[in-house]
Amino acid sequence: MAIKSDYHMHTSFSGDSTAPMEEMILKGIELGLDSICFTEHMDIDFVYEKPEEKGMFELNTDSYLFDFIKYKEKYADKIQLLFGVELGVQPHLKRELALYAKSFDFDFIIASSHICNKKDPGYASFYEGRPQEEAYREYFLSILDNLKTFNNFDVYGHLDYVVRYGPTKDAGYSYETYEDILDQILETLIEKEKGIELNTGGLSYQLRDFNPCADILKKYRELGGEIITIGSDAHQPSAIARGFKHAAEVLTECGYKYYATFEKRVAEFHRI
């Protein structure tokens, strides 16, 4: 396997996973990975359509850190474990997120857009009564709004996450349709010296491509972007490092020679 580090995964500390942290670690060791980074969900002010889900994406970071330290020491001679978080970014949370990001010694921070203008693209209501393209455009524009207000992150996660949930998902979806907005996003990330991730989690949603699609990956590289991490977005052990062989092929085709890992918020590059 050319890619030996999985930098996006969730355990039972994330509200949408029941996987014990130790089981995720053991699977990473079994797969021969050099390192894995846990990126538990922290979505402050998430919009819950089901009352019983309220608070499920608010991370108990102290408990997470306690278990992380325990297992980091236990498996130190077998695999490198990194302490990360996936922050759900919304413009009105800029101060709260900035304070939170500084409150812990994270190795790696993913900024992600899970909520768009106080609506959840994961629900059908986000798309009802309008063309799919309009919904996708609103989502991409909200990323630009987030980038204007929040800087304390290392990579932006699954840039075209919205296509996982649209009525036709990524059928008919193309970079060219949203090029005007996507190029602004990529240029802003490069100007801020931030990276993106290749997220293979789209395999669970029957998509044709990874998130983001290959054309976005290629454009980021053409514009001078170099910082790219690889993450499975695994919520269970069986999903760790899924699609990584194909991910390496796609990255090579898009002009990448290296992928990045992070420790103490500093990037290290590894040949694909």
Contacts of the segment 169-175: beta carbons below 8 A, 24+ positions apart: 169/205, 169/206, 169/207, 170/202, 170/207, 170/208, 170/209, 170/213, 171/208, 173/136, 173/213, 174/213, 174/215, 175/213, 175/215, 175/216, 175/219
Is cis: bond before 237, omega within 30 of 0? no
**Would you state the pLDDT for residue 1?**
66
What local confidence, expressed as pLDDT, does residue 35 receive?
98
Q: Is 133 helix (H, G, I), strand (E, B) or coil?
A: helix
Residue 171 parent element (H or E):
none
Q: 257: domain range? A: 5-271
Distances (CA, A) of 79 to 9, 60, 93, 236, 247: 15, 24, 35, 18, 22
Q: pLDDT value at position 153? A: 98
The closest alpha carbon to 36, from 2, 74, 3, 1, belongs to: 3
For position 204, what pLDDT does the model report? 86
Instruction: Output the domain CATH number for residue 236.
Output: 3.20.20.140
* Structural domain total, the chain: 1
Task: Select from 196, 252, 253 the least CA-distant residue to 7.
Answer: 196
Sequential pLDDT tens for the chain (272 residues): 699 999 999 999 999 999 999 999 999 999 999 999 999 999 999 999 888 888 899 999 999 999 999 999 999 999 999 999 999 999 999 999 999 999 999 999 999 999 999 999 999 999 999 999 999 999 999 999 999 999 999 999 999 999 999 999 999 899 999 999 999 999 999 999 999 999 999 888 889 899 999 999 999 999 999 999 999 999 999 999 999 999 999 999 999 999 999 999 999 999 99
**111 within 8 A of 153, measured Cβ to Cβ:** yes
pLDDT value, residue 206: 87
